[in-house]
Each structure stands twice: as structure tokens, then as C-alpha cells.
């Protein structure tokens, strides 16, 4: 085992810590930094529930070590809504369209769609749907997720 | 009970956004792994790498010596707790079972030891250092293995876990089948399914002093878990509180704790530290209980017009090693033909033990009845030469056929499968499809249309002890806010929204003002949790009736305060209104402040406060009906199935929230698609799981599931509110709808065996005219030719020498266990033999009953009439051998159940 000092920005907040080299980023975010919205569904990089944004890109935090995120800027699902509680458009679209049931896979889906829209990008329906290939949902049959994607594309004028 | 409030319903029937979504979309949910307690330790299991064998030794020394390791526990450490593992019906399980393996292992993944450490990483490290020496035996894996191989459990007579129905052929029924113009027979096979909730199992247990055990657990209902644990632990003075706020799906897996949760809880009690165990996905896919591994041969006879004459089913269900209740799945037979008119039906049904993970529930546990029936009907249509729509029209139970009772005694009064089919056909233009199909075939493209119809029992209460009514405890707080504590529980069902809709309508308040709490056994009364599509029907009824009681009280208080008659008072917009006097309106808060704080202003004798509760018990069974259609294209070059269209036409009565209803249907259909095309929790011949990750266990992705279309029939039920359950239906009717579409598409090539999953490789054999892939012959079959590396080691017989039977050996008291469909029923029987006449008394929890019977050799027979759960005559036939007794009990239309026992 090796120990490493790391620091990273999560949702605009600076976090520091001493971690084992083998500690998964998902475990660091959940247990050390307190972002329990990062859900661990498979630890194998398949289900996508643990997806967070690292330096602008959607990343499976169960496949990344905490040390690898040293110096990075991260966003988790807790950091998406505005300070006044206004939901991010992706969150709002999923809510409007009953895009979730148990909500366990939801944070990862939200983060993948939000990453696609970072820096003002406006992906079309096909691009957003394609990105869902990396997410498993056992509850919804993806119906509300598809409707949310269509709503986002329609709002953006990119159907 | 007075009439409903005057205020018009505003929320029932609306696509109200879910109250749960705000926290779940922002990462503020509270799932079990989010619970972190001071001093909490972490658990990891040492699991058996073999499916069957004995444990020679367990060496925990090296593991225990690792830094950060607090304990390495084996069954020897847990045995002093004397836990009784219970089935879903809260009776003891049928075979000896301990939280950790006790000398024998019975499946790959069987928990053998438990490491408790400072964190999960250290616990897993240490778990890998526990050395277990096994003596491996040949594993009993498949249903054929179970029939042919050695006993899975040393203390059973054979591998039959449960038996219902008639083992001997019914001559009259066989004559009907043999003499019919058309006899259609089909053998089908359903693969093993892993329920796969996105949140795996998990528990955080902590003792709160000596008198309270606090258990955070992901489950299908905290009250049932609390009841299960209270009975299983059986520790006087210890109260069990179970908390489960947010749960990431269950689908039947999380109905009650099992070996791992119990072991972690006992570890917390032993170490007096909070202990967390969170299952990882490999554990979940390989070692958690599973479902659906079944075979059925269904025969049905039709007259010259394609009308049903009679049917017989021979059914087998893999129970694994430790089912959560040994099960022959009587519901399969109760509902197999319940949507249709059929004069005669008989069955034999067996659950089999094997060296695989135990049987748990999975959404629509009896669903194979609809798969078997609806695929057989399509096969019959092809065989007889009539249209699949027509064969259903001729046989479905219509309004004109009701009220009526099925051959298994199911009363039908308001089922609507025939109406659902007609509504479906208004949306799906079958003739147009047939034209398109013919044109496509001419181009070498293979389109298929699948149809299915069914009914489903929902919202059942009162006939099985654990399936109770549901409780709503409702109050208008002094702030004017409405709070309900409900016995229902959501694992994604949205009950915090739908129950609020029911209550808001009764009290005339904005839905934002209603909060539902449902995740803590210390709040609210008993309910069994999610299961049997019950929560909307029963919880909704409780919410309405409690709301009505409370509305009546508000009106009584307001009428008294405002000098009006209660009939003149109405509730809307969070206000109390007086008819004809708008200036006299008051807020609910004003009324509530007086109701709680100024007793002197209340009507004489009235209890203070604004609180009401109602426990609603619905009619015994509320049926939901549906008919579905699906159109597929099968690629004849690859065998891939593309689903082009899927229409659901269902009748779930009054819909509380159509978006929630459609969400339930869609989720069930997605799982159906997974069952038909993708998922397979297979095991190899040694019992090793071959699907250990989501790369091998393929759940449907967004590309596997089409957009579903919905048609709603909305026939109000007789339950309060007119609701019918909808939680399981998609998972029941979905599989045959899709299988029939695939079979229709490939009809030019021949019949497609119903042997799930229908993988591209299997479908290519049909397309290419090759034989369907044979399953390997059981290693226990005489024809099995593979070399045996490990010869089966027979388990020592449970009963030693059988003493010669003599009448005097029968006199006295015997402890018997009757394996009923609701779980094992313990009884005590007293016999007194005089010549060939036997008198006796049978005592059970429900009471005691005398009987008179006959002795013949070592066999005693008698009959007795019972009235619960329905009036039937029980016919016992027991064979005595030394200090043990075994035999059967014929239970009228429920068929035959096994009886075992010993001297009391």
C-alpha cells in the first residue's frame, strides 16, 4: 500500500486528503468528501451509476483512482443545481418526464447528459441517446429518459 | 363512513410530478450505503468456491492477524444466537439452515465466514486469507440433476422441495385430452434470472444499548423486515427498528433478510459496533437469491371450433439450495387459464432443491403461466389453422361469461381481458400488418406480430397471514401541513407521490402540503411492503379512507366554530369553506391551531387534534387485465431481434397517476425483454456461475427497449378508489408477447422452441434448419458419458434402519409439518389405534380438530373438512416408519402437499 496526499476541487469546494493508492475515486467522493450522490452500482464500469465530471469529461468514478484525480476539478450530481435550488436543465427534463423511479442509476445519467452539454454544447437527440449506451436502468425501461432527451433537444432546437 | 367530500377530485388521475424526484435528482437521497455511523466497521464474506461438499477445516488465523481486522466469524461464533431462518411467510424454512455454512456448503457463493475490519478494502484483503479446506462432491445444478442426483440436503427424503397437484394421471382428464379433435402440447423452459436491482443488497446494523437493534437495510418493506428479524432473533426485550428511506429497486429480491444480512446483524451484536455490509455486484449476480429457472409441459385440448376443452400442466421450479420458502408455485396453476373459459384443468407441480442460490421472488413470480398459455395458444392457432386473434376471441372470458368460477375456484366478476384485446385491436391494425409482413417476406425480411392476454391478481390481503391490509396514519399538524405515515414502502414505486394524491383530494389541499413518510418501522403500522402489486390498491384505499375520516373531523370542528351545518362545509385550496358564505372561510391552519390548542372551542366530547388512521382491507383479490401486441423484425442473417412497436392495452382500474402506471408497465416490459432476449444467470455443470458481471449478465439497454404505446381501459375495481394493481403486469405479459412475435416472424422456417433466452445463435438454428441446441445431459443420467472427476458422494441417509411398522408404534403424539402453498404448517397429531380404526386429533395454531380414519399396514388415512382459507376436504395419507412419518395431504383444488414428521 502507498499513501498519497491529494487535493481536488469538487463542486467548487477545495478538498484535501491522504489516501491509499488503491482507493477508488468513487469511494473517496462518497466517504471522504461526503458526496453520497455518487452511486456505486457495479464497480466494473458497466452500469454508469457512479459517473461524475472530471475536468469537463464524464468519468466512471469506480474505474478511476482517487490519486488520479489529484489536482482535478470535479462535479458530482450534488453540484449541478443552482444555489437557489433551480434544477439543471437535465435534472428538470428528467423530472418533467418521469425519467426515474428508484433513482439509484439517476445521478450517473444526469452527469453524462450534463457533461455533453458542458460549455454551451447542445447535443442532438441521437448523441444524447448514444451516450445512454453506457448506463443501465432496471426500473424505467428508459421511456422517461428518452422523453427527457427529446425535451432537451426540442428546447435546444437540436432535434 | 360518510359520503366523499363535496370537493371535486383534483389529483387522482393526474400526471403529477413525483415528490421523490427532487432529492433523487440532486444526490440527496438516503440509500443504505449512504448511512455512516460513528465507529462503524465493514464486513466482507468468505464464500464457497464449490457448489457441494463438506468443510473439513477453516483457518482464520492469518486473516485475523491482519492490521485493521476486528474479527473473523464462522458459524461457530454465530450459533449461540440461535437464529431461526424464516421464509417470506414467517415460518421456519423447510431445511436446516444457518446464517453461515455449518459443516456443508450447498452452492458456489455460500457464505462460509465473515471478516469484520476497519474498512471494506481491509475486510476483502483478509477474506482472501481465510483458508477453507473442502471435500468436494458432485454438484446437483439443473432440474434434471435434482431429479436424478443425490440429495442436496441430508435431512430430506429426496430433492423435492415442494409438491402440489396430482402425481397420478387423472383418467377423466386424460380421456378428455386424448379424445379431443385437437391436442396441442408444448414444453417450455425459462432460464434463471437475477433480479438485478441497481442497488445491491446491504445493511448497516447497530445495537442501541441493550433494548434496541437499529437496522438500516435496503428492503421491500421495513415493517416486514422488522417482523422477520424480531421472530428470527427471538430475543425478549430487544426491539427491532428498521429504516429504509430510499431503496434502489428490489423486484422481489429484498423481501426479507437472508444469510448475509443476518450474519452482518449478528456481527454488530457480537462486536457491539455498528457493522456495514454492502453487497458488490459480483456477489449480487453470483450468490444472491435468484428466480425463474423453470420447465413446464402444457397440454391443451380444443374442439373443432378451436374452443378449449381441457388442459394439464406438469411444472418444475428450481428452488436452489435455500429458497426463501420452498415453493411449488401454486399461483402458476391458479391463474394459468383464469382469463379464459376452460372446463377442466389439472396439474402437477414440483419445486426442486439444487446446489444453486436459493429461489427468491421476482416480479410476477408465477409469470410462466402466461408465457406457457399464450405461446401455446399461438402454436394451437397455427396447428388448427385459425388466426391468433380469433383463438383468443373464442376462449377469453368476456363480460357475458361473468360471474363465474374457474376450475381452480377463482371467482371472476369484473375481469376485462377480452375488452383489453378489442381496444388493442383498435390501435393495432392486424390486416394492415399482415399485408406489410407478406410484402417484407417477399423481400427476405421477416416481420412478426405477437399477441398476448392475461389477468393478474393484485392487492391481495386476508388469505395469507403475512399479506395484511395497509395502514394510513394521517394528521393535519398545527401548522396546517398534512403528514401521513403509511405502511406502504417505495423501491421506486413513487408511493410518496401517489399516496399524497389520494390524501390531497380528500382534504382539499395542495399536494405540496402533503408529506408521506414510509421508510421506518418505528413509524407506522405493519404492512408487508411491496409485493403482489398491492400498494396502490390497498395503500391508496387506506389513504382515501383515512383522509375521509379526517375531512369529516375538520368539517365537524369547522361547523361548530362557524355555526354552520357540517354538510355546508367544504374543503379546497387548503381552506375550509361555508356554502353561501365565502367571507367565513378559514385556513386549515386556523382550524388546526384551535383543534390542538383550544379544547374548549371544540364540539363537546370531541378528542383534540386533527388525526385519523385507517387500516384498509380490500376485497380478497382485485384483478388487472391486459392485452399486448408487439411487432418485431428478425434479421435472417444474424438472428438479431429488433422490436419495432409495442402496444399495451391494460385495465388497472382508476389510475392514481397515469405516468406512474405507465412507468410500472414499461419497467416490467423492459425486464420481459431482458428475459426473452438477453439475461441468463446460468451455471456450468459444476455449479459455477457463468454470469458474474453486467458484461456477462446482459440487462436491456436503451437500445433494446422500444417506445411503448399505452391504451388504458380504466374499469373501476370494487376496491376503495376503484384501483387495480399494476406493478408486475408488464413482466408477466411481456415475455409471451415478444416470443409470439418472434415465432410469427420465423414461422416460414418452422416452430421456435420456447427455451429462453432466444439468443441470436439459437434463432439462427431455426433460420438455417439446424437442430435447436441440446442441453447437456445431466451428469447423473445413465447416458452421461463425460468422465467423472469427482464421483457423487451420497449423503448419509437421514433415517437409519426402518423399524417394522406396528400399530402400537403409532399411538401418541407426532409433530407434523404440512407443506402448504403458504409455507410449512406445523401441527401436532395425536393418534389412537384400535384394530384398523384410528381416532385422533390434529392441533395447529388455528385450532384443533378431531378425526376418524383407518389403519392399513403401516398407513393411516383420514379425511377432515376445513373452512379456511376456503371450504375444502383434506385427505391425509401417512406412512409410519419407526420414529418418523411421511405422506401427503390432498387439499381439494390445491392438489397434494407433502407431510413429514416425527414423534413428539
Handedness of CA B210, B215, B220, B222 (dihedral sign): positive
The torsion angles phi and psi of B98, rounded to 5 degrees, stand at -130, 160
Q: Report CA-CA distances (Å) from B511 to B412, B538, B573, B576, B722.
A: 36, 20, 10, 16, 21
Residue of chain B nearest A134, judged by CA positions: B701
CA–CA separation, A40 vs A61, rounded Å? 9
The answer to whether residues A93 and A136 belong to one domain is: yes
Output the pLDDT for position B26.
98
Check B26 against A137: CB less than 8 A apart: no
* Higher local confidence (pLDDT), B898 or B318: B318
**Last-in-domain residue among A79, A112, A130:** A79
> Does the domain made of B807-903 have the CATH classification 2.70.98.90?
no
Output the pLDDT for position B809.
82
CA–CA separation, A45 vs A41, rounded Å? 9
Output the pLDDT for position B901.
87
Output the pLDDT for position B642.
98
Q: A74 in a domain, yes or no?
A: yes
CA–CA separation, B112 vs B110, rounded Å? 6
Output the pLDDT for position B450.
98
Output the pLDDT for position B898.
82
Q: How many domains does chain A have?
A: 2
Cell 444457518 belongs to residue: B98
Check B494 against A101: CB less than 8 A apart: yes
The answer to whether residues A7 and A72 belong to one domain is: yes
**Last-in-domain residue among A79, A100, A133:** A79
ipTM: 0.98
* Higher local confidence (pLDDT), B800 or B214: B214
Output the pLDDT for position B802.
40
Residue of chain B nearest A145, judged by CA positions: B702
What B123-126 contacts at long range (C-beta under 8 Å, 24+ apart), as own/partner pairs, is B123/B42, B123/B43, B123/B44, B123/B69, B124/B44, B125/B66, B126/B44, B126/B63, B126/B64, B126/B66, B126/B69, B126/B72
Output the pLDDT for position B2.
42
> Can you tell me the mean pLDDT for B562-569?
96
Provide CATH 3.90.1170.50 ranges for chain B: 32-137+212-247+254-277
Q: A147 in a domain, yes or no?
A: yes
**pLDDT beyond 70 at B867:** no
Residues 6+ away with beta carbon under 8 Å from A6? A16, A17, A18, A19, A28, A66, A67, A69, A70, A71
Question: Residues A60-109: pLDDT tens digits?
Answer: 999 999 999 999 999 999 999 999 999 999 999 999 999 999 999 999 99
CATH topology of domain B294-456+626-767: Aldehyde Oxidoreductase; domain 4 (3.30.365)
Query: Residue B700 in contact with residue B674, Cβ under 8 Å?
Result: yes
The answer to whether residues A56 and A22 belong to one domain is: yes
* A24, β-bridge pairs: A65
To test the contact with chain B by mutation, choose from A41, A100, A102 the residue with the greatest count of B C-beta atoms within 10 A, namely A102
Q: A144 in a domain, yes or no?
A: yes
| Domain carrying residue A132 | 89-156
CATH topology of domain B1-30+473-572+587-594: Aldehyde Oxidoreductase; domain 4 (3.30.365)
**pLDDT beyond 80 at B794:** no
**pLDDT beyond 50 at B92:** yes
Check B198 against A41: CB less than 8 A apart: yes
Check A103 against B707: CB less than 8 A apart: no
Check B667 against A139: CB less than 8 A apart: yes
- In this prediction, residue B807 has a pLDDT band, given cuts at 50, 70 and 90, of low
Min Cα–Cα distance to chain A from B430, Å: 25
> Can you tell me the mean pLDDT for B188-205?
98
**Last-in-domain residue among A47, A79, A111:** A79
- Beta-carbon count within 10 A of B719 CB: 26
The torsion angles phi and psi of B615, rounded to 5 degrees, stand at -105, 115
- Tell me the DSSP string of B605-639: TPPSS-EEEEEE---S-EEEEEEEEEEEEE-TTT-
The answer to whether residues A10 and A73 belong to one domain is: yes
- In this prediction, residue B893 has a pLDDT band, given cuts at 50, 70 and 90, of low
Check B695 against A38: CB less than 8 A apart: no
Output the pLDDT for position B888.
84
The answer to whether residues A75 and A109 belong to one domain is: no
**pLDDT beyond 60 at B226:** yes
Question: Residues A13-55: pLDDT tens digits?
Answer: 999 999 999 999 999 999 999 999 999 999 999 999 999 999 9
**pLDDT beyond 70 at B533:** yes
The answer to whether residues A24 and A52 belong to one domain is: yes
Residue B27 is nearest to which of A78, A94, A105, comparing CB atoms? Answer: A78
**pLDDT beyond 70 at B30:** yes
- Which H helix or E strand runs over B818? strand B812-820
Check B25 against A105: CB less than 8 A apart: no
> Can you tell me the mean pLDDT for B822-849?
85
> Can you tell me the mean pLDDT for B251-255?
97
CATH assignment of the domain containing A136: 1.10.150.120
The answer to whether residues A18 and A46 belong to one domain is: yes
Output the pLDDT for position B786.
59
Question: Residues B106-125: pLDDT tens digits?
Answer: 999 999 999 999 999 999 99
Output the pLDDT for position B9.
62
**pLDDT beyond 80 at B872:** no
- In this prediction, residue B37 has a pLDDT band, given cuts at 50, 70 and 90, of very high
> Can you tell me the mean pLDDT for B868-896?
79
pLDDT mean across residues, chain A: 97
Output the pLDDT for position B869.
56
CATH assignment of the domain containing A36: 3.10.20.30
- In this prediction, residue B41 has a pLDDT band, given cuts at 50, 70 and 90, of very high
The answer to whether residues A60 and A98 belong to one domain is: no
The answer to whether residues A56 and A101 belong to one domain is: no
The torsion angles phi and psi of A119, rounded to 5 degrees, stand at 55, 35
**pLDDT beyond 50 at B799:** no
Quote the radius of gyration of chain B (alpha carbons, Å).
29
Smallest CA-to-CA distance from B112 within B130, B129, B93 is with B130
To test the contact with chain A by mutation, choose from B25, B123, B492 the residue with the greatest count of A C-beta atoms within 10 A, namely B25
**pLDDT beyond 90 at B1:** no
- Beta-carbon count within 10 A of B151 CB: 18
CA–CA separation, B453 vs B651, rounded Å? 11
Residue of chain B nearest A30, judged by CA positions: B34
B275-278/B482-486 β-pairing: unpaired
pLDDT mean across residues, chain B: 93
> Can you tell me the mean pLDDT for B213-218?
98
**pLDDT beyond 90 at B643:** yes
Choices 3.90.1170.50, 3.40.50.300, 3.30.450.20, 3.10.450.40: CATH for B32-137+212-247+254-277: 3.90.1170.50
To test the contact with chain B by mutation, choose from A75, A135, A143, A148 the residue with the greatest count of B C-beta atoms within 10 A, namely A143
The answer to whether residues A17 and A53 belong to one domain is: yes
Check B26 against A77: CB less than 8 A apart: yes
Check A38 against B27: CB less than 8 A apart: yes
Check B25 against A47: CB less than 8 A apart: no
> Can you tell me the mean pLDDT for B794-806?
43
Cβ-in-10-Å burial (0-12, 13-18, 19+) of B867 comes to exposed
Provide CATH 3.30.365.10 ranges for chain B: 1-30+473-572+587-594, 294-456+626-767
For a pLDDT cut of 70, what percent of chain B falls above it?
A: 95
The answer to whether residues A102 and A145 belong to one domain is: yes
- Beta-carbon count within 10 A of B384 CB: 17
B-chain CB neighbours of A91 within 8 Å are 25-26
To test the contact with chain B by mutation, choose from A23, A85, A104, A108 the residue with the greatest count of B C-beta atoms within 10 A, namely A104
- In this prediction, residue B797 has a pLDDT band, given cuts at 50, 70 and 90, of very low
B-chain CB neighbours of A100 within 8 Å are 18, 21, 24-25, 492
The answer to whether residues A111 and A45 belong to one domain is: no
Provide CATH 2.40.128.120 ranges for chain B: 807-903
Amino acid at each position: 500500500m502507498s499513501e498519497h496526499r491529494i487535493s481536488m476541487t469538487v463542486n467548487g469546494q477545495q478538498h484535501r486528503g491522504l489516501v491509499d493508492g488503491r482507493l477508488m475515486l468513487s469511494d473517496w467522493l462518497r466517504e471522504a468528501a461526503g458526496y453520497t450522490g455518487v452511486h456505486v452500482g457495479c464497480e466494473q464500469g458497466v452500469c454508469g451509476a457512479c459517473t461524475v465530471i472530471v475536468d469537463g469529461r464524464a468519468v466512471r468514478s469506480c474505474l478511476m483512482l482517487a490519486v488520479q484525480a489529484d489536482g482535478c476539478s470535479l462535479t458530482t450530481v450534488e453540484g449541478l443545481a443552482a444555489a437557489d435550488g433551480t434544477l439543471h436543465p437535465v435534472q428538470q427534463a428528467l423530472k418533467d418526464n418521469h425519467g426515474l423511479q428508484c433513482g439509484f442509476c439517476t445521478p450517473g445519467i444526469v452527469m453524462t447528459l450534463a457533461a455533453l452539454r458542458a460549455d454551451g454544447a447542445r447535443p442532438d437527440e441521437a448523441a444524447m441517446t448514444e451516450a445512454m449506451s453506457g448506463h443501465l436502468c432496471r426500473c424505467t425501461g428508459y421511456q422517461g429518459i428518452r422523453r427527457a432527451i427529446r425535451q432537451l433537444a426540442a428546447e435546444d432546437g437540436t432535434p | 363512513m360518510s359520503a366523499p367530500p363535496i370537493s371535486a377530485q383534483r389529483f387522482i388521475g393526474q400526471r403529477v410530478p413525483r415528490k421523490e424526484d427532487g432529492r433523487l435528482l440532486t444526490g440527496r437521497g438516503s440509500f443504505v450505503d449512504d448511512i455512516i455511523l460513528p465507529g462503524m466497521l465493514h464486513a466482507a464474506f468468505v464464500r464457497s468456491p464449490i457448489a457441494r461438499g463438506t468443510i473439513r477445516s477453516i483457518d482464520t488465523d492469518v486473516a485475523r492477524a491482519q492490521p485493521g481486522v476486528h474479527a473473523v466469524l464462522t458459524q461457530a461464533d454465530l450459533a449461540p444466537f440461535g437464529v431461526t431462518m424464516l421464509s417470506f411467510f414467517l415460518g421456519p424454512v423447510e431445511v436446516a439452515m444457518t446464517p453461515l455454512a455449518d459443516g456443508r456448503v450447498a452452492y458456489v457463493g455460500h457464505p462460509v465466514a465473515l471478516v469484520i475490519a476497519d474498512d471494506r478494502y481491509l475486510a476483502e484483503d483478509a477474506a482472501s486469507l481465510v483458508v477453507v479446506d473442502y471435500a468436494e462432491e458432485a454438484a446437483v445444478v439443473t432440474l434434471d440433476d435434482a431429479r436424478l442426483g443425490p440429495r442436496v440436503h441430508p435431512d430430506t427424503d429426496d430433492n423435492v422441495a415442494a409438491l402440489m397437484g396430482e402425481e397420478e394421471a387423472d383418467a377423466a382428464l386424460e380421456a378428455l385430452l386424448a379424445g379431443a379433435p385437437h391436442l396441442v402440447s408444448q414444453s417450455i423452459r425459462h432460464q434463471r434470472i437475477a433480479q438485478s436491482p441497481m442497488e445491491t443488497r446491504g445493511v448497516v446494523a447497530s445495537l442501541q444499548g441493550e433494548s434496541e437493534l437499529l437496522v438500516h437495510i435496503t428492503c421491500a418493506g421495513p415493517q416486514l423486515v422488522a417482523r422477520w428479524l424480531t421472530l428470527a432473533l427471538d430475543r425478549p426485550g430487544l426491539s427491532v427498528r428498521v429504516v429504509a428511506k430510499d431503496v434502489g429497486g428490489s423486484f422481489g429480491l429484498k423481501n426479507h433478510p437472508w444469510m448475509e444480512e443476518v450474519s452482518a446483524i449478528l456481527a454488530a451484536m457480537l462486536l457491539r459496533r455498528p457493522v456495514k455490509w454492502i453487497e458488490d455486484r459480483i456477489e449480487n449476480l453470483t450468490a444472491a437469491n435468484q428466480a425463474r429457472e423453470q420447465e413446464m409441459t402444457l397440454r391443451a385440448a380444443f374442439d373443432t371450433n378451436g374452443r378449449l376443452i381441457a388442459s394439464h400442466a406438469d411444472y418444475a421450479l428450481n428452488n436452489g439450495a435455500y429458497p426463501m420458502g420452498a415453493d411449488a408455485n401454486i399461483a402458476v396453476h391458479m391463474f394459468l387459464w383464469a382469463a379464459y373459459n376452460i372446463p377442466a384443468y389439472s396439474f402437477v407441480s414440483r419445486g426442486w432443491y439444487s446446489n444453486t442460490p436459493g429461489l427468491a421472488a421476482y416480479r410476477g413470480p408465477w409469470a410462466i403461466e402466461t408465457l406457457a398459455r399464450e405461446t401455446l395458444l399461438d402454436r394451437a392457432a397455427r396447428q388448427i389453422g385459425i388466426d391468433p386473434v380469433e383463438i383468443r376471441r373464442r376462449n377469453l372470458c368476456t363480460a357475458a361469461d361473468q360471474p363465474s368460477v374457474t376450475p381452480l375456484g377463482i371467482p371472476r366478476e369484473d375481469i376485462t381481458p377480452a375488452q383489453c384485446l378489442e381496444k388493442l385491436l383498435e390501435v393495432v391494425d392486424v390486416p394492415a400488418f399482415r399485408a406489410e409482413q407478406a410484402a417484407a417476406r417477399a423481400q427476405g425480411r421477416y416481420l412478426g406480430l405477437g399477441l398476448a392476454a392475461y389477468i393478474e391478481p393484485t392487492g391481495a390481503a386476508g388469505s395469507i397471514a403475512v399479506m395484511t391490509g395497509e395502514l394510513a396514519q394521517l394528521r393535519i399538524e398545527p401548522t396546517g401541513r398534512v403528514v401521513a405515515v403509511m405502511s406502504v414502502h417505495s423501491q421506486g414505486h413513487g408511493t410518496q407521490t401517489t399516496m399524497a394524491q389520494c390524501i390531497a383530494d380528500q382534504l382539499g389541499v395542495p399536494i405540496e402540503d402533503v408529506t408521506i413518510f414510509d421508510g421506518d418501522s418505528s413509524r407506522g403500522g405493519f404492512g408487508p411492503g411491496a409485493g403482489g402489486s398491492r400498494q396502490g390498491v390497498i395503500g391508496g384505499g387506506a389513504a382515501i379512507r383515512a383522509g375521509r375520516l379526517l375531512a369529516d373531523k375538520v368539517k365537524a370542528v369547522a361547523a361548530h366554530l362557524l355555526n354552520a351545518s357540517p354538510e355546508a362545509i367544504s374543503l379546497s385550496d387548503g381552506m375550509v369553506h361555508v356554502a353561501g358564505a365565502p367571507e367565513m372561510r378559514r385556513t386549515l391552519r386556523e382550524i388546526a391551531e384551535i383543534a390542538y390548542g383550544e379544547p374548549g372551542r371544540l364540539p363537546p366530547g370531541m378528542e383534540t387534534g386533527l388525526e385519523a388512521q385507517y387500516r384498509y382491507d380490500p376485497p380478497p383479490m382485485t384483478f388487472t387485465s391486459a392485452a399486448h401486441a408487439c411487432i418485431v423484425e428478425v434479421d435472417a442473417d444474424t438472428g438479431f431481434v429488433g422490436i419495432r412497436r409495442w402496444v399495451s392495452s391494460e385495465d388497472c382500474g382508476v389510475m392514481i397517476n397515469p405516468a406512474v402506471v405507465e412507468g410500472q408497465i414499461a419497467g416490467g416490459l423492459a425486464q420481459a425483454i431482458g428475459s426473452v432476449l438477453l439475461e441468463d444467470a446460468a451455471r456450468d455443470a459444476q455449479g459455477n456461475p457463468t454470469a458474474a458481471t453486467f458484461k456477462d449478465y446482459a440487462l436491456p439497454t436503451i437500445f433494446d427497449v422500444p417506445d411503448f404505446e399505452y391504451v388504458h381501459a380504466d374499469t373501476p375495481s370494487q376496491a376503495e378508489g376503484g384501483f387495480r394493481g399494476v406493478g408486475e403486469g408488464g413482466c408477466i405479459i411481456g415475455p409471451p408477447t415478444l416470443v409470439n412475435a418472434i415465432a410469427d416472424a420465423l414461422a416460414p422456417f418452422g416452430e421456435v422452441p420456447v427455451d429462453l433466452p432466444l439468443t441470436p445463435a439459437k434463432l439462427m438454428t431455426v433460420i438455417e434448419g439446424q437442430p435447436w441446441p441440446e442441453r447437456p445431459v445431466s451428469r447423473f443420467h445413465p447416458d452421461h458419458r463425460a468422465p467423472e472427476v469427482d464421483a457423487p458422494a451420497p449423503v448419509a441417509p437421514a433415517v437409519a434402519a426402518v423399524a417394522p411398522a406396528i400399530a402400537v408404534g403409532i399411538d401418541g403424539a407426532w409433530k407434523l409439518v404440512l407443506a402448504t402453498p403458504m409455507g410449512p404448517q406445523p401441527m401436532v397429531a395425536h393418534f389412537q389405534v384400535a384394530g384398523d380404526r384410528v381416532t385422533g386429533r390434529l392441533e395447529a395454531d388455528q385450532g384443533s380438530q378431531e378425526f376418524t380414519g383407518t389403519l392399513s399396514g403401516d398407513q393411516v388415512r383420514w379425511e377432515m373438512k376445513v373452512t379456511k382459507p376456503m371450504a375444502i376436504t383434506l385427505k391425509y395419507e401417512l406412512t409410519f416408519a419407526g420414529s418418523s412419518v411421511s405422506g401427503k395431504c390432498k387439499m381439494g383444488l390445491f392438489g397434494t402437499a407433502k407431510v413429514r414428521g416425527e414423534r413428539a
